[in-house]
Amino acid sequence: MIGKGKAPSFFLLEVLAGLLILSSGCAYQKVEALSQKVAEQQRQISILQREDIEIKSRLEEQKTANYLLDKRMKELGDRLGDSQARLQTLEIGVGELKGMLEEVKSLVAKPAAPPSAPVTAAPPEVKPGPPPPQPTPEVAPLPPGRLGSEELYNEAMRLLRAGEMGEAIGQFEKYVREYPHSELADNAQYWMGEAYYAQKDYDRARKEFEKVISDFPRGDKVPDALLKIGFCYLETGQKEKGKAELRKVVSQYPKSPAASLAKKKLGELSR
């Protein structure tokens, strides 16, 4: 009787042990599958971030081209105005010379005075002509080894698009240092932050984005910088600070593209 009672107990233990082994194997497979899924999502996020930088850099390049075109058109307009003013001055001078010529002709055509009363005609008063146009001063060439503002900015953008973030950061820093009051200084400061963000140096990126707001408060990159400050906080696990920055974008710049992205991100965070 004792031997018969123990047999079912051993059998039950073997069954339980087998079930535990099977369940452990299933759990391992689930963990492995989940890890692969997370890795794939991270890879896709990296790809999307690179594409985002590429699109933004191309838009920035187009904006720069438009700015340079407007600048060139203004220069041509100024030159045209100067040319028209000089032409008008020359026309006035020609008119005065014609008047002087007619006056001389009229004096020559007068009959000679009688010998008893010779009269010496006074020479005609010669009016001064228009002053000669002043020569246009030549533009001093740039010192050797120094790029102009446009060339330096374009070189920094080229490095950014090529993925050479460290070199791009150096060029953007140089641009902001040498041309702090140019039209593209705020853009250069913003893209410096984007380069750090692409390197996943979120704390440094946030500081550079904050400089966009503090140093260029009226620049058109302020909404984008505020948005990326929020993203930097989120990437470093500071969720509430990140959400607060995103809400600022929506409230302060409701019609900006950055506000649309902020709303979308806030919606994702609330799920």
Domain ranges, ordered by start, for the chain: 52-107, 148-266
- Name the nearest CA neighbour of 228 among 43, 49, 41: 49
| R_g of the chain, CA atoms, integer Å | 39
Torsions phi, psi for 147 (to 5 deg): -85, 150
- Return the ∠ at Cα 217 (arms to 60 and 232), rounded to 5°: 70
pLDDT in tens, 233-253: 999 999 999 999 999 999 999
User: What is the phi-psi region of residue 128: left when phi exceeds 0, alpha when psi lies from -120 to 50, beta otherwise?
Assistant: beta
Contact criterion met (CB below 8 Å) for 171 and 156: yes
- Name the nearest CA neighbour of 234 among 206, 256, 193: 206
Residue 84 reports pLDDT greater than 60: no
Lookup: tokens for 239? 């969720």
Where residue 56 falls among pLDDT bands split at 50, 70, 90? confident
SS3 content of the chain, % helix, strand, coil (to 5): 75, 0, 25
Match 């005065």 to its residue by tokens: 96
The whole model's pTM is what? 0.53
If you classify domain 148-266 with CATH, what class do you get?
mainly alpha
